[in-house]
Amino acid sequence: MFKINENYQKLPGSYLFSTIAKKVSAYTKANPEKEIIRLGIGDVTQPLAPAVIEAMHKAVDEMGNADSFRGYAPDLGYEFLRNAIAEHDYRSRGCDISPEEIFVSDGAKSDSANIQEIFGPDNRIAVCDPVYPVYVDSNVMAGRTGVYDAQAGTWSNVIYMPCTMENNFVPEFPKETPDLIYLCLPNNPTGTTITRTQLQEWVDYANQVGAVIIYDAAYEAYISEPEVAHSIYECQGAKTCAIELKSYSKNAGFTGVRLGYTVVPRELKCGEVSLNHMWARRHGTKFNGAPYIVQRAGEATYSPEGKAQLKEQVAYYMKNAAAIKNGLKEAGYTVFGGVNAPYIWLKTPEQMTSWEFFDYLLEKANVVGTPGAGFGPSGEGYFRLTAFGSYENTLAALERIKKL
């Protein structure tokens, strides 16, 4: 008789955003006349930028012509895109990253889930709490997290680094020594971040204890303050301890297009073994390349027109973020984030858990958000709203919340 991967049986419930989608769908079925405003999952609403659309149309035409048709993409990504990434995302910022260290993929969600595969099963992971659920869930699937304590909402073999208003949402070095440290900065879900100097301390710490930082920079385009690093490779010594994940979903609206990349520096080694070679081997075996049309779309985000158009999109969402932040403050809420990230993190009203507040907002204001507890135990008592809605819907949601 075949055997299943028993680790999947350990996963509590369904994936956070699937649970929310099911709850909202049940509510709309029971109340079809209600107009729901969705500020839950961080999904974009603005259409793709004209420069991106133009590049995609051109690439579609190329695919319809025998002379310019392309089959399988190079498994690590087309050179035109890897060169553009190295130039615009790294060298222009003084980071010494070469195209050979860049691996193009179908997005940061899959990369952030898959990257753990190249590490041994007995590595201990450290995560911020609250945290993007993919990091923990993918390690549960791999059997790395130990036993789940349903009461506490924690795994016995995961090191949690609480990020709450008490420590300004800045993770502290854990008491136990981790092997893999997941950092998402600017942070999902809290919308907060740390300074370049604080990030440098993490890089120094990782190099000192021999840990690898898996650095999720999906929200980098939303940074507005100069003291915040756009890449972990702005820190000295990061190339010997850090892997960086990047996404085109949030800066270019590619949530439905799917494109991202991972940087694994050549200097990142375990003894003599190169993690860059390992990830190349994994990528080559398990992935057949992001589509040509999509990689051309990615390239277009770096053209002067593309850059200017994306800057406008980011500004549009950050206008929403400011409106949410100010509106909630006026309504008496305690709010965080929204300055370097498109997420607003608010304290739920006294006596209400984050799931109770979720139900309350859905039923009384027909607004969908994300309960903090869904991101980990330290998320309890908090709630996330995304700035990725339309401006009109964002204002309408705020009006409804203010009336409660």
Question: What is the number of the residue whose Cβ is closest to ligand MLT?
Answer: 42
Report yes or no: 20 and 355 within 8 Å, Cβ to Cβ.
Answer: no
Task: Please provide the size of the chain in residues.
Answer: 404
Q: Nearest distance from residue 342's CB to ligand MLT, in Å? A: 10
- Is residue 340 a contact point for ligand MLT (CB under 6 A)? no
Give the helix, strand, coil percentages of the chain, each rounded to 5: 45, 15, 40
Peptide bond between residue 174 and the one before it cis (omega within 30 degrees of 0): no
Residues 123-142 that bind ligand MLT (CB under 6 A): 132
- Is residue 24 a contact point for ligand MLT (CB under 6 A)? no
Binding mask 242-281 for ligand MLT (x = CB under 6 A): ----------------------------------------
Q: Nearest distance from residue 41's CB to ligand MLT, in Å? A: 4
| Residues 6+ positions from 284 with CB-CB distance below 8 Å | 75, 76
Of the candidates 396, 394, 49, 372, the one whose C-alpha atom is nearest the C-alpha of residue 221 is 49
- Is residue 109 a contact point for ligand MLT (CB under 6 A)? yes
Burial class (CB in 10 A: 0-12, 13-18, 19+), 274: middle
Spell out a b/e string for 88-127, using b for 16 or more CB atoms within 10 Å of the CB, else e. Answer: ebbeeeebebebebbbbbbbbbbbbbbbbebbeeebbbbb
Element housing 396 (H / E)? helix 391-403
Closer residue to ligand MLT in complex, CB, 11/41: 41
The residue range among 40-48, 50-58, 69-77, 169-177 that interacts with ligand MLT, by the rule CB under 6 A, is 40-48
What φ, ψ does residue 164 adopt, rounded to 5°?
-130, 180
Q: Quick one: which of 11, 21, 24, 41 contacts ligand MLT (CB under 6 A)? A: 41
Report yes or no: 119 and 126 within 8 Å, Cβ to Cβ.
Answer: no
The residue range among 41-49, 194-202, 346-354, 390-398 that interacts with ligand MLT, by the rule CB under 6 A, is 41-49
The residue range among 39-47, 84-92, 224-232, 307-315 that interacts with ligand MLT, by the rule CB under 6 A, is 39-47
Residues 174-233 that bind ligand MLT (CB under 6 A): 188
Closer residue to ligand MLT in complex, CB, 63/113: 113
Closer residue to ligand MLT in complex, CB, 188/190: 188
Closer residue to ligand MLT in complex, CB, 44/51: 44
Closer residue to ligand MLT in complex, CB, 42/327: 42
- H/E/C letters for each residue in 153-189? CEECCEEEEECCHHHCCCCCCCCCCCCEEEEECCCCC
Provide the binding-site residues for ligand MLT, judged by CB under 6 A: 41-43, 109, 132, 188
